[in-house]
Amino acid sequence: MNGTGTTGGGRPVWFITGSSRGFGRALATAALEAGDLVVATARRPEVLTETLGAYGERVLPLALDVTDPRAARRAVDAAVTRFGRIDVLVNNAGYANVSPIETADDADFRAQFETNFWGVYNVTKAALPTLRHQGAGTVVQFSSIGGRVGGSPGIASYQAAKFAVDGFSRVLAAETAPFGVRVMVVEPSGFATDWAGSSMTVHDIPQAYDATVGEMNRRVRRSADGAAGDPRRAAEIIVRTVHRDEVPAHLPLGVNAATMALDHSRHQTAEAAAWERVSRSADFDEPYPVALP
């Protein structure tokens, strides 16, 4: 088995959702520049032809709405028909709209979750028989550092979905490890994509939520230079990491992501230690009651 989880000596085949812009396009380009093969999917495949057409037969552009399970199965079948296998599955498609939970439009909240979680579920499930049959493969799930630490006002549907993706991916890793399948969750902080631009709808923010949701929305857009993260660098890092024999279970990307991940882990450890005796006291055989910290 090669570093990418491939069998045999061929170049790895990537299957990437949301390839028309942002991280998806950067990752498709980075994989192709590394000499790999790419199945690039998007709702509008003609955009993929425009951006990736120079790579010729090494890229297969496909139309895919990740919220449609049958479309996911058709896309996976088309990928296998063309290239014979899928070595790296990347669930990247996703978006966030801004609204307080109290005033959120229920249909919009659900629609975001359909793409951000159920899209991951649909595409992963469609690809699993191929990965299991191969006895090899890598699944890359795009989350967010917010999917680890949470608490970003205004994007509850998005962050709830990212927490769900993380839980789903942990179970996926446990279930598929015996088949030689690896799972890596990518957790970016702010990057120079259109995640907070044309992809995001900002709904009305009531005055009562200006200090939380309003301030969060302003902070995302405050810097004239845009986000600090470079999608091209991030894509190259992911490709280099997937080519290794071992991949991390979680890969924070960006200065803020690294800092927030470490700070959150330290806080969780300290809090668990402070409440350890109380937590243990809930079992029958443990001393009870004990003093609260």
3-state helix, strand and coil shares in percent for the chain, rounded to the nearest 5: 50, 15, 35
Q: Which helix (H) or strand (E) covers residue 257, if one does?
A: helix 255-274
Q: CA Rg, the chain, in Å?
A: 21
What is the 8-class DSSP label of residue 196?
A: T
**Do residues 123 and 91 lie in contact, with contact meaning Cβ atoms separated by under 8 Å?**
yes
**Residue indicated by tokens 């088949």:** 179
Strand partners, 186: 142, 251
The single-letter code of the amino acid at 255 is V
Going through 52-180 in order, the beta strands assigned E by DSSP cover 59-63, 88-91, 137-142
d(CA 139, CA 127): 10
125 is catalytic: no
Query: Of residues 158, 169, 189, 209, which has the active-site annotation?
Result: 158
Query: Of residues 121, 162, 169, 189, which has the active-site annotation?
Result: 162
Query: Of residues 20, 143, 169, 189, which has the active-site annotation?
Result: 143
**Residue indicated by tokens 């299991």:** 132
C-alpha to C-alpha distances, 255 to 23, 65, 118, 235, 260, nearest whole angstrom: 17, 32, 29, 16, 9
User: How many beta carbons lie within 10 A of that of residue 129, not counting itself?
Assistant: 12
d(CA 115, CA 154): 18
152 is catalytic: no
Q: In what order do the strands lie in the sheet with 88-91?
A: 59-63, 37-42, 13-16, 88-91, 137-142, 181-188, 250-253
d(CA 233, CA 238): 9
209 is catalytic: no
**Residue indicated by tokens 């230690």:** 273
Residues forming the active site: 143, 158, 162
